[in-house]
């Protein structure tokens, strides 16, 4: 149970920083390569 909570906290931390980076770069007019966005085959989007 403890390991599951730690894993969830690590994932939440990662995605918090990931989305914060995207927002900060968007404010600076920097286009980032975002996961799951764009004209990609369905299997690539699924893996991302």
The pLDDT tens digits of the residues spanning 5-48 come to: 999 999 999 999 988 988 898 899 887 766 666 677 777 766 66
What pLDDT is stored for residue 37 in this prediction?
67
What pLDDT is stored for residue 13 in this prediction?
97
What pLDDT is stored for residue 6 in this prediction?
97
Distance CA 8, CA 33 (A): 24
Distance CA 6, CA 12 (A): 10
Any idea of the CA torsion for 42, 9, 23, 45, to the nearest 10 degrees? 0
What pLDDT is stored for residue 32 in this prediction?
72
What pLDDT is stored for residue 2 in this prediction?
94
Distance CA 29, CA 25 (A): 6
Tokens representing residue 45 in the block = 């989007």
């Amino acid at each position: 149970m403890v390991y599951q909570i730690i894993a969830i906290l690590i994932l939440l931390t990662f995605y918090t920083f990931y989305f914060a980076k995207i927002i900060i770069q968007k404010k600076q007019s920097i286009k980032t390569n975002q996961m799951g966005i764009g004209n990609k085959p369905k299997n690539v989007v699924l893996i991302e």
